[in-house]
Structure 1
């Protein structure tokens, strides 16, 4: 019995371009472009190696064997023509020393099939052709040769051009692609993906557990200190809570001495103003950053309450050779939890502050019958009125014009209160008689705290100006109305400074008090009535002229310079003022009395003179 069979180790099968095109389509749709590319290059490589093995048996030189590739290419039907220009340098033993080629594939079947199913491509797609040429050439030369398609008609280029180089002459990215053809198995990639997913799952579970612990703590009414303890217990990472000026008011897992050392290390890495203030303008809401310092790494996230940054939370790491990408997940959730804490406290604070404001207004208007009862009630509101305290006035302007918008004023009062709450400093504050008035306990570093409050307000409410006037320190609630007048007087007397103590004002400010202020206003308005009754523009013009002339002791030349007037214009105004007031402005008695009245009205806020 005989059978018609051939003992061929590697049978050559014939198929159509349409069949291969359908296979390509299924591969790309199932595996994706990147994995399909590796599969098709490997497929082409193996065909190229098979054909190279056939050519190797022929008694040809290496050059001739390499030239045979185009015939196989054409016979396979993959292309209709091949144009190439090759540089080949051989050693004496016919081995390859250097090889480089450029060429063009004419009418690639892969272009036809790919565009038929997928349309125009974003990348080169003649993967089988590139793999074939790479495999064929590498096998015959016994060197690693890699062909890369550089332009492709499938993506709209004029031709399918390729370049051939020895693998060591390609860049690192191309070398890595070459390795994938031989070393990358799909099962290995799946295992790697599984490992990555498993690690992501563990991280997600840890982050979720961390988030749940924080959420549970907030739901149970934990304060910020307790939330920070929960963060530290879960992560074992030092945590710092700071305000917008990077003043620390909560820390855990780190000593004060260590904090001072790390603060200097941190400041050296950050942009600063001339005064040494750290700049963080690039840190936007909901955005965390990593700051690599010399001695530590700091992860920082803003604390955002109702779209307003009120401070920062930081994680501190001593190690500087670690990727902290995963830790950012924990930091963001910690920041969100702290923000929720402050939001809860803000809601509670608003109710308490409303009650405090009503109580403070009672003190300002002296609407009480028992001092001891009021002192006891203030103690329940965390302020001991048996200790010394100040009455302050916050003057708010925008481009020099006083702010009257109650909504804006309430926002500023809230920001003022929250800032002091973060520093655990209790106050009474209210908008009273169109003034923002507050009661502030006399404590160490009062000036520094007030300075930081102004910095905070300037950063939060840009384009607004803020000044603070403070009364003398008092300890008797009966003196509060007079202390309020002192705080306003401080602002009226000194308009050059942004924090003014009543003790630092002129003697004039001390002479005027609540008892005689109404009498002084009455006298001043009577004496200056001819000017005060003029139309606003004229009134302002004559008051300014009168004040400048008296302030310069009747010196016409200096007054002319101060007012930017001509001499004739100034003389006219002086004569007109003397007619209106029926006084000789060069008379020392008259000029002293008028200057006294003008300063009194300025101090009492009845008039303003720039």
Structure 2
């Protein structure tokens, strides 16, 4: 006779009680259990309800397993198979075992067990569907607990069951798997939480402690933000702000620009800063290289945790007018140091304060630079009648205009027909020049005149050789910053009288007109006597002389004639060298020969006559200097 059949023979009813195998039991309806589940979810939440039902089912399974062990069955397999039979007898579900494997040591205990099966007509699944909509996860929690408790007791080791399919969430059947804990590995870690009973009072205590910790964290973040804002209003610089942050947080902090060059830091020894900078630069250069190959964007706009060779860091970008201006980072020089979520939140608040700092600094700097630029433009336009007035205005912007100086004119060509884009570029170019002069510790005045950028540079900072070298370096810098534009520099003679700033501006203008694609920086001194002799007073005479020497080439003003004049200039400039001339004009040798032949026909003489060529070259130079011809 089966154990379940013998068990039914021990069912006793009487006096309002029901006993099964000498143990009092009760019968409850499936609808009542569904209401219990509903109320548990409403009162303690889904997760606590799930844990409650799993532990309830586990106790049912443990209780039945103890009774089976007391029966002293002949084999472990028989004892395990009795579990599903008991389960069915109680009306929980129709249980079908589909797989069972038990490993034991020789004449010893069970080492592992793996069991799989199907529940049909699960009272939990059907009851759930009667009360709720389709679930997002399996709902047979007491059945899962029962299997876990029963097998754990029979096998004398922790066995965890997991429902992998359930009709309560729309699957065709309820399927389950039960395995020894070591067979599950990390897959079952989350389920183990439900087997640990935590009193709700204890949970409330934990929640209160978390809320208290969160309140303290928010209070700390608010305190730091308020203190930094106050210091910012009081005019403190970035180094002072970094020191305050270090004092409050006890964490090293660093502010960097977009190239990861240090702007300010605190809590880091000077000898370590170089290694830290090289470390982070190498990391992002490598990341940029990899992401370019993968066609990914290497930048990031949110907080990031970076692990480097010398340290670890939390980095948060600092935004300025919707663009990343730099980064602020907490440094963890000891890699074993733990990080907390509050540190990232505080760092994000610090980045907001840093944004305000840089915006104020940028606005103040731009205001000062606009004042300087306006002052330079007024000097060029003859606004000031006396040297004393100019010197007094110069003192207000901390610029000694009694010192010798150079005038520089910067001309640019932007390959764009969009007027709005060109205006934006013009402003960006002025900002780039200002940034470059700051990095080189150059005190300059930057303004605008006739569509060009004009600069006044004090000669005490740069001698005659250095001024030209600096312009070439600035040309390289601007070409890297703005790859779609071409830049040309004209440099005046060394000036000593600020009242003659307009004359020296004209020198720089004439010099820049002589610049070409291969000679982007031209000094007025390099123009020689021609540059000195040509001025506004003899423009008419220059035009008459040019018309006499150039003849038909000068009289015709169409585009083709302009190309012939450019061809003639470069041909003479390179002493008749065809290869260099063709390269500068970006045409073929055969095309150049055709143009030279056409020029000889129009001029009526051979281009190999040195005397006539010299007069032609001087005429072309003169036209360029007075702005009649552009190269």
Q: Choose from 498, 511, 527 the match for 1:477.
A: 498
- Who is 1:516 aligned against? 535
- Who is 2:120 aligned against? 106
Contact 1:396–1:467 (CA under 8 A) maintained in structure 2: yes
- Who is 2:323 aligned against? 308
Seen in structure 2, the aligned counterparts of structure 1 residues 573 and 353 have a Cα distance that, compared at 3 Å, is closer
**Structure 1 residue 378: Cα displacement:** 0.9
- Work out the CA distance in 2 between the residues paired with 1:484 and 1:156: 83
Seen in structure 2, the aligned counterparts of structure 1 residues 272 and 482 have a Cα distance that, compared at 3 Å, is farther
Contact 2:95–2:117 (CA under 8 A) maintained in structure 1: no
Contact 1:241–1:251 (CA under 8 A) maintained in structure 2: yes
**Structure 1 residue 291: Cα displacement:** 3.4
In structure 1, the residue corresponding to 2:383 is in which secondary structure?
Answer: coil
Q: Choose from 366, 374, 378 the match for 2:394.
A: 378
Q: Choose from 35, 59, 64 the match for 1:22.
A: 35
- Who is 2:337 aligned against? 322
Cα deviation code 1:494-514 (max 9, x no counterpart): 545798473xx8833674148
- Work out the CA distance in 1 between the residues paired with 2:111 and 2:424: 82
**Structure 1 residue 408: Cα displacement:** 3.8
Seen in structure 2, the aligned counterparts of structure 1 residues 388 and 399 have a Cα distance that, compared at 3 Å, is same
Say whether residues 1:397 and 2:413 are aligned partners.
yes
Seen in structure 2, the aligned counterparts of structure 1 residues 558 and 303 have a Cα distance that, compared at 3 Å, is closer
Seen in structure 2, the aligned counterparts of structure 1 residues 392 and 99 have a Cα distance that, compared at 3 Å, is same
Q: Choose from 21, 26, 35 the match for 1:13.
A: 26
**Structure 1 residue 21: Cα displacement:** 1.7
Cα deviation code 1:140-183 (max 9, x no counterpart): 22121111112222333332111121111112241452354036
Q: Choose from 519, 526, 529 the match for 1:507.
A: 526
In structure 2, the residue corresponding to 1:542 is in which secondary structure?
Answer: helix
- Who is 1:438 aligned against? 455
Say whether residues 1:531 and 2:553 are aligned partners.
yes
- Work out the CA distance in 1 between the residues paired with 2:201 and 2:488: 70
- Work out the CA distance in 1 between the residues paired with 2:181 and 2:110: 13
Say whether residues 1:201 and 2:205 are aligned partners.
no
- Work out the CA distance in 2 between the residues paired with 1:474 and 1:517: 19
Contact 1:149–1:162 (CA under 8 A) maintained in structure 2: yes
Seen in structure 2, the aligned counterparts of structure 1 residues 462 and 129 have a Cα distance that, compared at 3 Å, is farther
**Structure 1 residue 207: Cα displacement:** 0.7
Q: Choose from 444, 469, 476 the match for 1:427.
A: 444
Contact 2:17–2:24 (CA under 8 A) maintained in structure 1: no
The aligned length equals 599
- Work out the CA distance in 2 between the residues paired with 1:57 and 1:262: 69
Mark the runs of 5 or more structure 2 residues left unpaired by the alignment: 1-14, 290-295
- Work out the CA distance in 2 between the residues paired with 1:284 and 1:536: 53
Say whether residues 1:54 and 2:67 are aligned partners.
yes
- Who is 1:171 aligned against? 185
Seen in structure 2, the aligned counterparts of structure 1 residues 596 and 453 have a Cα distance that, compared at 3 Å, is closer
Q: Which moved more, 1:265-274 or 1:104-113?
A: 265-274
Seen in structure 2, the aligned counterparts of structure 1 residues 501 and 224 have a Cα distance that, compared at 3 Å, is farther
Contact 1:41–1:128 (CA under 8 A) maintained in structure 2: yes
Which TM-score applies when normalising by structure 1? 0.84
Cα deviation code 1:100-154 (max 9, x no counterpart): 1221111222222333343222222222111111111111221211111122223
**Structure 1 residue 389: Cα displacement:** 4.2
**Structure 1 residue 380: Cα displacement:** 1.5
- Who is 1:155 aligned against? 169
**Structure 1 residue 451: Cα displacement:** 5.0
Task: Within 5 Å, give how 1:232-243 maps onto structure 2.
Answer: 232-243=246-257
Q: Which moved more, 1:78-87 or 1:394-403?
A: 394-403
- Who is 2:7 aligned against? none
Mark the runs of 5 or more structure 1 residues left unpaired by the alignment: none
Cα deviation code 1:314-342 (max 9, x no counterpart): 44443222244432323222222122123
- Who is 1:218 aligned against? 232
Q: Which moved more, 1:109-118 or 1:413-422?
A: 413-422
Contact 1:454–1:466 (CA under 8 A) maintained in structure 2: no
Q: Which moved more, 1:218-227 or 1:119-128?
A: 218-227
Seen in structure 2, the aligned counterparts of structure 1 residues 362 and 19 have a Cα distance that, compared at 3 Å, is same
In structure 2, the residue corresponding to 1:68 is in which secondary structure?
Answer: helix
Seen in structure 2, the aligned counterparts of structure 1 residues 575 and 417 have a Cα distance that, compared at 3 Å, is closer
Cα deviation code 1:478-502 (max 9, x no counterpart): 4533443454455554545798473
- Who is 1:550 aligned against? 572
- Work out the CA distance in 2 between the residues paired with 1:409 and 1:242: 27
**Structure 1 residue 75: Cα displacement:** 2.2
In structure 2, the residue corresponding to 1:585 is in which secondary structure?
Answer: coil
- Work out the CA distance in 1 between the residues paired with 2:372 and 2:448: 12
Which TM-score applies when normalising by structure 2? 0.81
- Work out the CA distance in 1 between the residues paired with 2:399 and 2:534: 28
Seen in structure 2, the aligned counterparts of structure 1 residues 246 and 332 have a Cα distance that, compared at 3 Å, is same
In structure 2, the residue corresponding to 1:291 is in which secondary structure?
Answer: strand
**Structure 1 residue 210: Cα displacement:** 0.6
Task: Within 5 Å, give how 1:325-340 maps onto structure 2.
Answer: 325-340=341-356
Seen in structure 2, the aligned counterparts of structure 1 residues 22 and 179 have a Cα distance that, compared at 3 Å, is same
**Structure 1 residue 372: Cα displacement:** 2.8
**Structure 1 residue 35: Cα displacement:** 3.0
In structure 2, the residue corresponding to 1:294 is in which secondary structure?
Answer: coil
Contact 2:114–2:179 (CA under 8 A) maintained in structure 1: yes
Seen in structure 2, the aligned counterparts of structure 1 residues 140 and 10 have a Cα distance that, compared at 3 Å, is same
In structure 1, the residue corresponding to 2:157 is in which secondary structure?
Answer: coil
Task: Within 5 Å, give how 1:72-83 maps onto structure 2.
Answer: 72-83=86-97
- Who is 2:362 aligned against? 346
Seen in structure 2, the aligned counterparts of structure 1 residues 411 and 545 have a Cα distance that, compared at 3 Å, is closer
**Structure 1 residue 370: Cα displacement:** 1.9
Task: Within 5 Å, give how 1:287-302 maps onto structure 2.
Answer: 287-302=302-317
Contact 2:260–2:277 (CA under 8 A) maintained in structure 1: no
- Work out the CA distance in 1 between the residues paired with 2:258 and 2:490: 23
Cα deviation code 1:446-468 (max 9, x no counterpart): 87899589758955x67455565
- Who is 1:574 aligned against? 596
- Work out the CA distance in 2 between the residues paired with 1:373 and 1:397: 36
Say whether residues 1:41 and 2:54 are aligned partners.
yes
Contact 1:416–1:457 (CA under 8 A) maintained in structure 2: no
Contact 1:382–1:426 (CA under 8 A) maintained in structure 2: no
Cα deviation code 1:506-546 (max 9, x no counterpart): 83367414863663663575344633454543124322432
- Work out the CA distance in 1 between the residues paired with 2:216 and 2:376: 54
Cα deviation code 1:554-595 (max 9, x no counterpart): 46688678764575x656543432343344423211212222
